Structure 1
Amino acid sequence: MNATQNLPVVAVTLGDPAGIGAELIAKLLSKPEACARANVVLVGDRWLWEEGQRIAGLQVPTAPVQALAEVRGRADTTRPAFLAVDSIDPAAVHRGKAEPAGGRSVLKVLDQCMDATLAGHVDAICFAPLNKQAMKLGGMQHEDELHHFASYLGVTGYFCEFNTLGDLWTSRISSHVPTKDAAGYITAERITQAAELIYRSLLANGVAQPKVAVAAFNPHGGDGGLCGREEVEVIEPTVRALQARQWPTEAPFHGPFPADTIFLKAQAGEYQAIVTMYHDQGQIAIKLLGFSRGVTVQGGLPIPITTPAHGTAYDIAGQGRANVEATWQAFLIACRMGAAHRAAA
Structure 2
Amino acid sequence: MTEQVKPLAITMGDPSGIGPEIVVMALVEQPGVRALVFGCPSVMERAVGIVGADCDVRSLRCVQDARFTPGVIEVVSSGNLTELPAIGQIQATSGDAAFSAIQLAIACALEGQVSGIVTAPIHKEALSQAGISYPGHTEMLADFSGAERVAMLLGNDEIRTVLVTIHCSLSDAIKGGSFEAQMTAIRLTHEGATALGYDNPRVAVAGLNPHAGEGGLFGREEIEIIAPAIKAAQAEGINASGPWPGDTVFMMARQGQFDIVVAQYHDQGLIPVKYMGLEKGVNITLGLPFVRTSPDHGTAFDIAGTGKADAASLLTAMSYASKLVSAQSKGIA
- TM-score norm. by structure 2 comes to 0.91
**How far apart are residue 62 of structure 1 and its match?**
6.5
Q: Mind listing any 5+ residue stretches in structure 2 that lack a counterpart?
A: none
1:39 aligns with 2:34: yes
Q: How does 1:252-291 map to 2 (within 5 A)?
A: 252-291=239-278
Q: Could you report, residue by residue, the CA deviation over 1:291-320 in whole angstroms, capped at 9, with x for unpaired residues?
A: 232222222211111111211111111111
Secondary structure of the residue that 2:74 maps to in structure 1?
strand
4+ residue segments displaced more than 6 Å: none
Secondary structure of the residue that 2:29 maps to in structure 1?
coil
What CA distance in whole angstroms lies between the structure 2 residues aligned with 1:9 and 1:292? 24
- The 1:79–1:298 alpha-carbon spacing in structure 2 relative to 1, beyond 3 Å, is farther
Pick from 192, 197, 217 the counterpart of residue 201 of structure 1.
192
- The 1:54–1:92 alpha-carbon spacing in structure 2 relative to 1, beyond 3 Å, is closer
Secondary structure of the residue that 1:235 maps to in structure 2?
helix
What CA distance in whole angstroms lies between the structure 2 residues aligned with 1:114 and 1:212? 30
Pick from 162, 183, 192 the counterpart of residue 192 of structure 1.
183
**How far apart are residue 278 of structure 1 and its match?**
1.1
Q: Could you report, residue by residue, the CA deviation over 1:216-274 in whole angstroms, capped at 9, with x for unpaired residues?
A: 11111211112221112221222122112235xxxx21111111110111111222211
Conservation of the 8 A alpha-carbon contact between 1:162 and 1:172 = yes
1:122 aligns with 2:122: no
Q: Mind listing any 5+ residue stretches in structure 1 that lack a counterpart?
A: none
- The 1:56–1:209 alpha-carbon spacing in structure 2 relative to 1, beyond 3 Å, is farther
Aligned to 1:148: 140
1:102 aligns with 2:94: yes
- What is the alpha-carbon root mean square deviation over aligned residues? 2.4
What CA distance in whole angstroms lies between the structure 2 residues aligned with 1:232 and 1:268? 27
Q: Percent identity?
A: 30
Aligned residues between the structures: 332
- The 1:84–1:219 alpha-carbon spacing in structure 2 relative to 1, beyond 3 Å, is closer
**How far apart are residue 102 of structure 1 and its match?**
0.8
Secondary structure of the residue that 1:171 maps to in structure 2?
strand
- TM-score norm. by structure 1 comes to 0.88
Higher fraction of helix: 1
Aligned to 2:43: 48
Aligned to 2:205: 214
Conservation of the 8 A alpha-carbon contact between 1:213 and 1:253 = yes
**How far apart are residue 44 of structure 1 and its match?**
2.6
Q: Could you report, residue by residue, the CA deviation over 1:186-214 in whole angstroms, capped at 9, with x for unpaired residues?
A: 32211111011121122223333422110
Pick from 7, 12, 27 the counterpart of residue 29 of structure 1.
27
Conservation of the 8 A alpha-carbon contact between 1:20 and 1:314 = yes
- The 1:90–1:210 alpha-carbon spacing in structure 2 relative to 1, beyond 3 Å, is farther
Secondary structure of the residue that 1:42 maps to in structure 2?
strand
What CA distance in whole angstroms lies between the structure 2 residues aligned with 1:200 and 1:12? 24
Secondary structure of the residue that 1:43 maps to in structure 2?
strand
